[in-house]
Amino acid sequence: MSLNPPLTPTKIARTEHPCFDEAARARTARVHLPVAPKCNVQCNYCNRKFDCVSESRPGVSSTVLSPAQAANYVDAVRADLPNLAVVGIAGPGDPFANAEATLASLELVKQRHPDLLLCVSSNGLELANHLDAVAELGVSHVTITLNTVDPEIGGQIYRWVRDGRQVYRGREAGELILSRQLASIAGLKERGVTVKINTILVPGVTLEGIGEVARVAGELGADTMNNLPLYPVEGTPFGELRAPTPEEITIARRVSEPHIEQMTHCQRCRADAVGILGDEHTGEAIDRLLAAKAPAKVRPYIAVCSQEGYLVNQHLGGADFLLIYENTNIDGRITPRLIDKRRTPPAGGGAGRWAMLAGIMSDCKALICHQVGETPSMVLKGAGLSVHESDGLISEAVTDVFAGREPRRALPPRDCATSCSGPGTGCG
């Protein structure tokens, strides 16, 4: 029997995640993937910009990546930073206002780098709807911004909160987001996820209620709390307010500490932060990030899903193989020719399956199939392919796409979710 049994996941996480363990900040690096541009809450202290390279604060990113680009970016970062331990998503909007992109990105990273820790940072509004997916992906750390447990104060912090198509303001907004945040904290702890609470210390708004926030978060089982001083941002409703004094910050942490462990080494990370906590956002880091969006190499072929090789009549999720066509361009006319038949990855594996398929089609510029689900379409497009649906002759559909046209259809497109003619096993 081993005298040194393996650490539990939580203990491993607490000794490697630089945001959750101050001792780790000097030895492990993290990278934030900017894949979530949309936000469902407008905070009165937030002004999101994607291109301000001189600012180090949440909501800022030099660009936005697709899930496939993000996975390739992690490959590049890990090649440069062998001490990379954490892959996180923190915006520049909210990860779960962009749930498809967030979950697909995390799954792709998990497929390629199963040893890296995964984390997300959210306002909590939509997180409660994705708790099982977060747990199944093995996300070990989640940060929730919980600024107040008083709905009236919440109405002062949030200009609006959007739930689906409904927009809430004032106390209603405060009540809605608070209920979702508390449910998210409880649900994450039930699933064994380490939870950090971020609270923005706004003098005259949240500062006075900080002890109650700490008490509620602690009773729900949250692991640590990060009391962040307001960073007044020009152009926001709170832009004219003062930041809390060092004394006020110390008192806030002292009041909170009896209820929950305090984090004191936060560096206000950007949505595209990379490296050791506190590293400057260098030109080298920006170049590496932007390189992830570089155009793909020349890709001359088109892949087709077909049951018998004559019609485009197969859903991507049910295709066991792809037919690969080139344009032989005889006498100046587009002339498709079948050159290959390639097996698709086996069913299962979620977004990772589609990332593998993108690799199989790395020399193809387009895919034509009868129907395709939202997740595979998103992953393949992020990998540089155009995705088309058709139900006609392969020769005509391929000719259309080689000519830069959408392939013709004999019937109107159907809803993939309700009229799928595939095997019934879904697109995973």
d(CA 133, CA 328): 45
d(CA 188, CA 194): 8
For residue 283, the model assigns a pLDDT of 63
Q: List, in sequence order, every residue forming a beta bridge with 341; answer none if it has no partner.
A: 323
For residue 307, the model assigns a pLDDT of 94
Q: How far is CA 216 from the centre of its chain?
A: 28
Q: Given pLDDT bands bounded at 50, 70 and 90, which one contains residue 279?
A: low
Please tell me whether residues 181 and 212 are part of one structural domain: yes
> Which of 240, 273, 291 is the last residue in one of the domains?
291
Please tell me whether residues 222 and 250 are part of one structural domain: yes
Please tell me whether residues 276 and 313 are part of one structural domain: no
Please check whether residue 159 is in contact with residue 135, taking contact to mean a CB–CB distance below 8 angstroms.
no
> Which of 291, 324, 347 is the last residue in one of the domains?
291
Q: Which of 340, 329, 348 is nearest to 364 (CA)?
A: 340
Please tell me whether residues 188 and 333 are part of one structural domain: no
Please check whether residue 28 is in contact with residue 85, taking contact to mean a CB–CB distance below 8 angstroms.
yes
For residue 335, the model assigns a pLDDT of 92
For residue 425, the model assigns a pLDDT of 42
Tokens of 308: 């018998």
Domain count, the chain: 2
Please tell me whether residues 157 and 54 are part of one structural domain: yes
Q: Which of 71, 4, 28, 19 is nearest to 384 (CA)?
A: 71
Please tell me whether residues 253 and 346 are part of one structural domain: no
> Which of 241, 262, 291 is the last residue in one of the domains?
291
Give the whole-number percent of the chain exceeding pLDDT 70. 81
Domain span at residue 225? Answer: 9-291
d(CA 27, CA 17): 10
* More confident of the two residues 98 and 22: 98
Q: Given pLDDT bands bounded at 50, 70 and 90, which one contains residue 301?
A: very high
Give the CATH number, domain containing residue 148: 3.20.20.70
Asked if residue 140 is part of any domain, the answer here is yes
All residues at 6 or more sequence positions from 31 whose CB lies less than 8 Å from its CB, including other chains: 73, 74, 77, 81, 84, 86, 87, 88, 273, 274, 275
Please check whether residue 196 is in contact with residue 19, taking contact to mean a CB–CB distance below 8 angstroms.
yes
Tokens of 253: 């942490």
Please tell me whether residues 161 and 16 are part of one structural domain: yes
* More confident of the two residues 200 and 306: 306
d(CA 125, CA 103): 16
d(CA 125, CA 44): 16
Asked if residue 367 is part of any domain, the answer here is yes
Q: Given pLDDT bands bounded at 50, 70 and 90, which one contains residue 25?
A: low
For residue 297, the model assigns a pLDDT of 66
Please check whether residue 344 is in contact with residue 322, taking contact to mean a CB–CB distance below 8 angstroms.
yes
Please tell me whether residues 276 and 327 are part of one structural domain: no
Please tell me whether residues 28 and 168 are part of one structural domain: yes
Asked if residue 28 is part of any domain, the answer here is yes
For residue 149, the model assigns a pLDDT of 92
Please check whether residue 237 is in contact with residue 244, taking contact to mean a CB–CB distance below 8 angstroms.
no
Please check whether residue 400 is in contact with residue 407, taking contact to mean a CB–CB distance below 8 angstroms.
yes
Q: SS3 sequence, the chain?
A: CCCCCCCCHHHHHHCCCCCCCHHHHHCCEEEECCCECCCCEEECCCCCECCCCCCCCCCECCCCCCHHHHHHHHHHHHHHCCCEEEEEECCECCHHHHHHHHHHHHHHHHHHCCCCEEEEEECCCCHHHHHHHHHHHCCCEEEEECCCCCHHHHHHHEEEEEECCEEECHHHHHHHHHHHHHHHHHHHHHCCCEEEEEEEECCCCCHHHHHHHHHHHHHCCCCEEEEEECCCCCCCCCCCCCCCCHHHHHHHHHHHCCCCEEECCCCCCCCCCEEECCCCCCHHHHHHHHHCCCCCCCCCEEEECCCCCCECCCCHHHCCEEEEEEECCECCECCEEEEEEEECCCCCCCHHHHHHHHHHCCCEEEEEECCCCHHHHHHHHHCCCEEEECCCEHHHHHHHHHCCCCCCCCCCCCCCCCCCCCCCCCCC
d(CA 388, CA 408): 10
Asked if residue 423 is part of any domain, the answer here is no
pLDDT in tens, 42-59: 887 777 554 444 444 555
Average pLDDT taken over every residue of the chain: 81
For residue 268, the model assigns a pLDDT of 64
Asked if residue 390 is part of any domain, the answer here is yes
pLDDT in tens, 214-257: 999 999 999 999 888 887 777 777 877 788 888 888 888 899 99
Please tell me whether residues 47 and 119 are part of one structural domain: yes
* More confident of the two residues 147 and 265: 147
Please tell me whether residues 254 and 352 are part of one structural domain: no
Radius of gyration, CA atoms only, the chain = 24
Please tell me whether residues 84 and 212 are part of one structural domain: yes
Asked if residue 3 is part of any domain, the answer here is no
d(CA 172, CA 34): 30
pLDDT in tens, 382-392: 777 899 999 99
Asked if residue 412 is part of any domain, the answer here is no
Asked if residue 272 is part of any domain, the answer here is yes
Q: How far is CA 207 from the centre of its chain?
A: 31
